[in-house]
Amino acid sequence: MCRHLGHVGPRPVTLASRVTEPEHSLLVQSYAPADMRGGGTVNADGFGVGWYSDTGPHSYRSPVPMWTDGSFLDLATAISSPAFVAAVRSATVGMPVSTGACAPFRDADRVFSHNGVVRGWPGSLRDLAAELDPEALMTLEAPTDSAVLWALVRRRLDAGKDPADAVADVVTRTLAAAPGSRLNLMLLTGGPAGEPVLVATAVHHALSWVVDDEGVTVASEPLDDRPWTPVADHHLVVTRDAAAVEVTAL
Ligand code: GLN
């Protein structure tokens, strides 16, 4: 199952500092993950990064293994950002391998990733997806469970819901409709004063976080041998000030 990470800090750091350089970076997790649960051995079906910058959010996604994209590995050392989400993908059986299916998804000011699977998809999400307007369904970037979850989260954010509440609501309703789903969601968005807010859930998948003077990093697997804090299953973490996380039960 895919791996992802999010970082929010007081000042920009290179994408490489979290994505490609640490001893157990996301790059390493793409070919040698340590804690895959629920199947899959490598995360070779694409990757992506979405990052904030002075010119707004940007993203780079590709349906190839991260380790084969030398241009990205180089760019990651040159791009600095105070807030980003990155993901490597192991496509769920039956779902396409394409750029549009790679997390993170992004719109004008938000970045979203899903690590896991919705059980019984697509039938199990029929009722929940019915709340989406047809245009949102017709413009999904890919016919995948993750793309539908992203549309459901966006709808709640567009309605003015707090980011943590929006993510928690989608997780809770999806679990009710599709029990046993693996729902590690990650959302980067702007808070009330425009500051970046990072929300992540642990539902049947690994997740840990660490804080240092460069900010808060949340990742599927610890990137190094520092004392990362594991997030208990069925919990949500949110960082609103880039210096600490709040953990709540879902
Ligand atoms: N189900 C999602 C997809 O296929 C996420 C896959 C995963 O976490 N392994 O894109």
Residue 102 known to be catalytic: no
**Among residues of the chain, what percentage have pLDDT more than 90?**
86
Mean pLDDT of 150-157: 97
DSSP state of 122: T
Is any ligand 1 atom within 6 A of the Cβ of residue 157?
no
> Per-residue pLDDT for 36 more than 70?
no
Measured CA distances, 58 to 79, 83, 103, 123 (Å):
11, 11, 13, 33
**Contact yes or no for 98/79 (Cβ under 8 A):** no
Place of tokens 């350089």: 21
* pLDDT single digits (tens) 191-238: 777 889 999 999 998 999 999 999 999 999 999 999 999 999 999 999
- 152-181 CB burial, b ≥16 within 10 A, e <16: bbbbbbeeebbbbebbbbbbeebbebbeeb
Q: What is 3-249's CATH number, 3.20.20.80, 1.10.420.10, 3.60.20.10, 2.60.40.10?
A: 3.60.20.10
Q: What pLDDT is stored for residue 175 in this prediction? A: 97
Which helix (H) or strand (E) covers residue 177, if one does? helix 163-177
Domain segments of the chain: what residues?
3-249
Separation of alpha carbons 56 and 46, rounded Å: 24
Q: How far is the CA of 123 from the centre of ligand 1 (A)?
A: 17
> Per-residue pLDDT for 35 more than 80?
no
Q: What pLDDT is stored for residue 191 in this prediction? A: 73
Place of tokens 């992540």: 200
36 three-state secondary structure: coil
Q: How far is the CA of 239 from the centre of ligand 1 (A)?
A: 24
Mean pLDDT of the chain: 94
Q: What pLDDT is stored for residue 34 in this prediction? A: 82
Is any ligand 1 atom within 6 A of the Cβ of residue 174?
no
Q: pLDDT band at 40, cuts 50/70/90? A: low
> Per-residue pLDDT for 54 more than 80?
yes
Q: How far is the CA of 146 from the centre of ligand 1 (A)?
A: 7
* pLDDT single digits (tens) 126-147: 999 999 999 999 999 999 999 9
| Catalytic residue (choose from 1, 2, 111, 140) | 2
* pLDDT single digits (tens) 110-130: 999 999 999 999 999 999 999
> Per-residue pLDDT for 109 more than 70?
yes
Q: What is the ipTM of this complex?
A: 0.96
